[in-house]
Amino acid sequence: MSCDKFKLPTADNISEACRQFDGDYNVIEDALTDLFAKYPTNTHEAQVLLKVLTLNELYATQLPLWDPKRPTVFDVAKCIPSLGLDQAFREGSLEVVNAISTTQFPGKRRINRFVFATKYASWHKPNLYPIYDHHVYNYFGCLRRLLRADWDQFAEGFKLSSNDWGYPQFCEFMARFRTHYHLEQVSFRQLDKFLWIHGDPG
């Protein structure tokens, strides 16, 4: 675990990371913004497939394109219209992320697609659904190692592995993190960008 890029989550550091992120990834962000604006709902399989394929490729969510044993982008796109995501997103449901990540497919391995699910939800409501991925894992691993007293104050026993909790617990953890560092004015989307930049494993 590399902590070379670790910085404290201050308002200035978050603003700086957001500027860097927006400069480095502006084409990717613009492409996804246009796509999700063009197809905001999740009832048509072909439209969902376009979003799943593009997000999977540009945000490295590691769903296979073809695989006889693991759920593919086509499996996931086919199941999403049956999950009632649009209503869930309107209601701000956190459990819907678990539904996206844990739906299983007959004849294929049981795989939790948690990273993909958080990113898919975030691209529908970025300020409601914080992202979890290896950058987030690495950043908080470094924070725990370098600032253990701070970690103990807000983590409340939270474990970094996503195998140990569901999405509502992760959101509660992120809210406590934001409050602990007096960042209530900072959106989850801004935190996503900060954690991507400063949680880079290198």
What is the reported pLDDT for 4? 86
In this prediction the pTM is: 0.95
pLDDT at 160: 87
Give me the mean pLDDT over the 99-113 stretch.
91
Mean pLDDT calculated for residue range 21-28: 97
Q: What are the tens digits of pLDDT across the range 84-105?
A: 999 999 999 999 999 999 988 9
Domain ranges of the chain: 11-23+130-198, 28-122
Dist CA 103 CA 116 (whole Å) = 12
**Per-residue model confidence as pLDDT tens digits over 115-140:** 999 999 999 999 999 999 999 999 99
Distances, alpha carbon 34 to alpha carbons 28, 30, 61, 190, 191, in Å: 10, 6, 19, 19, 22
CB atoms within 10 A of CB 158: 18
Q: Are 54 and 32 in contact (CB under 8 A)?
A: yes
CB contact at 8 A, 106 and 62: no
